[in-house]
Amino acid sequence: MSTKAKLKAYWTALYPQDDQSRLDRFLDTLTPYVNDINSTESDWYKDAVVYSLYVDLYNKNFNGLIAKLDYLSALGVTCLWLLPILDSPMRDAGFDIRNYDLIRHELLGLPADSTKQQQEESFSLFMAELQKRNLRVIFDFAANHTSEEHPWFVEAKKSNDNPHRDYYIWSKDTSLYGEARLLFKGMENSNWEPSGEDFFFHRFFSFQPDLNYRNPDVLVEMSKYLLYWQHIGVDGFRADAIPYLWKEAGTDCENLPNTHIIVKFFRAILDYVKPGTLLLAEACQQPAKVVEYMGNGDECHAAYHFPMMPMLYKAMAKHSFEPIKNILNTAVTPVIPESGQWFTFLRCHDELSLELVYVSEEDRKFIHESYCHDPEWDFRLGEGISARLANLMQFDDRRIGLAYSMMLSLPGTPVIYYGDEFGKENDEAYYREMIQLTGKNDTRFHVRGKIDWIKREAQLKQPETFQARVFNRIQQLLNVRKKHKAFGRGSIGFLEINNPDGTVNTTVLAYWRIYKDEKILIIQNLADIAQKVLTPTISGVLVDLLSIERPISTFLNLAPFEYRWYRMM
């Protein structure tokens, strides 16, 4: 079936009463752009090393970011994930989008009255600098909701018969969609917010009204925004909060069949114009549910493996490989489509999430007690921890190195959160500032904050500092990883490591990563005490990828939190 035929089929499934003339008119406008750029590497995301950042917090604006591109390339980064850059009142760090086809003018160094053409020209300069360094770029696209300041919602509030009224969900009965869980428990009291004589529906903050995809005009207009940025040259989109797109009475309004059809439509419309534009699912669900957002290779290309992240922390806290083996068991994490990929991370712009949708109450309690070292880091009444990696690991570069060793060598595409490469700490001043600005006590502001590059560069120049030790560990791992496709594409085979008496050592996590002729062995001590173990028997020569000063003999003596990467020759 052609891509155009797929689009028509999806449309019919969503809007059986529509005669498709609206869709035909939309597709006719795309004819000049179809396949204007041929993608020669449609699965580039499998080999990527992604770096996530806020442009303004990272280094003031896009010019500041350009000044750090060589630093990022040297670190080992191949793709930038720009956290929200679109026009926004910034009450939710930019996820409350006011205009989907405008970048915040201050990020581009332009005045508030700059034209759209000026914005495009300025952003194109940034894109050109990326291309010089073979760097790709993706950014956030919040498809579920807008800001209350979006022109559509401003119009929608004016009257019940306004043309944009039906772009959102309105009701006088707040029991509608009563089964939908309250996502921002502790920060919001309801999914309904009063406006005039009616209420509008929202799954996140009350200033972020949900879009109504029952209205086909909404699907068309949101697709136009995706295509606009695709045409400008963006390599992909992080599809924010996609499990909630379609609402049905009598359901929890998550992961509904029509939600998947909307995602299929977005994927098909991007493929229709330029195949290879990444669609990355942000779906906070159990792995079996998340896999559904990759479909049969016809929805998102990739998805975050949210449950993997807390299991990395649990494994380190319990000094046991079982959490990792369990989460990657195919009974828990199903096999994904051949074109699919997991994206993995240690920290991000949000909390260390312990939502009960994908961790047990026992795990939530254990991880929270093990890592929430300050009560102020608590998020959503115990369902998360708002802290930077350095704070969680209590500023121990060995533990940070081990955490990165696991993330970078387990299956998936890794995401590095800005500043974690040198152990950036929680930003208390930024947290207080944002509470005053937003009126919300959102503890996630702890993990954001600005980078003082004069201070950080001075620290990185001194090898004995904590920051330099963390940076050197991560840079070494990243640059080794980039040389071996087995990390991003290969299979995994767990290996038991035995004690000298022949019993299995459960504190040592070991596995093979295999892709074509590459075979890489990873051995990691999850414990805070040294381990003496038997060297695994293999039919080949092991070459140490991280050091040439550790000869292999009958026994391996692993220091606390030590990790080793070998290639079998």
Q: Please tell me the distance from the alpha carbon of residue 395 to that of residue 423, in angstroms, as a whole number.
A: 7
Give the sign of the dihedral formed by CA 202, CA 203, CA 206, CA 208: negative
266 with 279: CB under 8 angstroms? Answer: yes
Angle at 419 between CA 559 and CA 303, to 5 degrees: 90
Cα 492 to chain centroid distance, Å, stands at 22
Q: Please tell me the distance from the alpha carbon of residue 389 to that of residue 377, in angstroms, as a whole number.
A: 12
From the list 317, 329, 303, 324, the residue with the least C-alpha distance to 369 is 317
How many other C-beta atoms are found inside a 10 Å radius of the C-beta of residue 60?
A: 17
Active-site residue, from 240, 271, 299, 397 = 240
293 with 347: CB under 8 angstroms? Answer: no
Q: How many C-alpha atoms does 168 have within 13 Å on its Cβ side?
A: 34
Residue 457 annotated among the catalytic residues of the structure: no
Q: What is the length of the chain? A: 569
Q: Please tell me the distance from the alpha carbon of residue 558 to that of residue 562, in angstroms, as a whole number.
A: 6
Alpha helix ranges (H) inside 86-215: 116-132, 151-156
Backbone angles phi and psi of 351, in degrees to 5: -70, 165
From the list 507, 508, 281, 509, the residue with the least C-alpha distance to 413 is 281
From the list 379, 291, 295, the residue with the least C-alpha distance to 332 is 291
Active-site residue, from 140, 235, 282, 292 = 282
Q: Please tell me the distance from the alpha carbon of residue 262 to that of residue 405, in angstroms, as a whole number.
A: 37
How many other C-beta atoms are found inside a 10 Å radius of the C-beta of residue 488?
A: 21
Residue 338 annotated among the catalytic residues of the structure: no
From the list 385, 368, 375, 292, the residue with the least C-alpha distance to 333 is 292
Give the sign of the dihedral formed by CA 387, CA 54, CA 428, CA 426: positive
Give the sign of the dihedral formed by CA 261, CA 263, CA 269, CA 275: negative
532 with 555: CB under 8 angstroms? Answer: yes
Provide the greatest CA pair distance for the chain: 79
Alpha helix ranges (H) inside 359-449: 361-371, 389-392, 397-409, 428-438
- Residue 119 structure tokens: 């914005």
Which residues carry out catalysis?
Answer: 240, 282
